[in-house]
Every structure is written in structure tokens, then in C-alpha cells.
Amino acid sequence: MKVVVQRCKRAKVSVNNQVVGAINEGVMLLVGFTQNDSLKEIKYLADKVINLRIFDDENGVMNKSLKDVNGSILSISQFTLYADTSRGRRPSYIKALNGKEASNLYDKFNEELKNHNIHVETGIFGSEMEVDFINDGPITIILEKEG
């Protein structure tokens, strides 16, 4: 499982020109799954996202977590995180988990985030989405946990 965490001032996702999810201060997540991912990886990475100390304290030091700043999450499914570009010019997505299983894990991941009393907005799994956000910092961190 891979999660790209981007600290943001605000973020929104649209499908067919309609906003389906939006947040203010918090993190925008790109979330991808591969074979052998399970609830174990979901719990580990949800906890990691919630408790990453990537927000500034009163001294301008990244010392506060999402919980500390009462931030929100915009979670976007992103199978292309498992693109293999080692051969040729066209990425292979064979390592990405199939849609049905990935959708199930994505829903479980978002529920796990909500279990930490964090406001979570999402896109629509499998849809063509337009994501608009202001990266704060810019702070971008890639998390990965193999099943």
C-alpha cells in the first residue's frame, strides 16, 4: 500500500464539473493498493497519516500532527501509484490491485481514518477526477507498507 501525503491549505475534487469533496487545512492523500495489502497495512498507514508531525508549531517547527491542528483529509484513490515504468514508455499497472478489491480496501482505509475522529472527504473511486489543491510548504511525503 502506498500513500502520498501532501500538506495543504485547501483541496477539492470534482467529478463531471461537480465538487464531490473539499477540505480546508489538512492533508490531501493519494492512495494506492497492490496484491497482499490487508487491514494490517491500512491500520498502520492510517495511524501514520494521522500522527505525522508535519504541521508547524508556534516556533515554525514541524512538530504538530493533523490531530493537533484539527485538520481534515481529502482522500483520493490512485492506482497509478503502482505504475511500473522500468520497460518501454508506456507504464504497466500490473502491480495495482484490481478495482473491486482496491475499492473495498479504499473504503476500509477511509473508515479507519474516520475512526480517529478526523474529518475525511473523498473522491469517487474509479471516476475521472479533477483534483485542485494548494500544497502548503510544499510538504509531500510518500508512505509505503508492504503486505
Q: Which positions are annotated as active-site residues?
A: 78-80
Q: Examine residue 91 and say whether the peptide bond preceding it is cis (omega within 30 degrees of 0).
A: no
> Nearest to residue 129, comparing CAs of 57, 1, 8, 21?
21
**Alpha-helix runs per DSSP H in the chain:** 39-51, 99-114
State phi, psi for 15 to the nearest 5 degrees. -130, 125
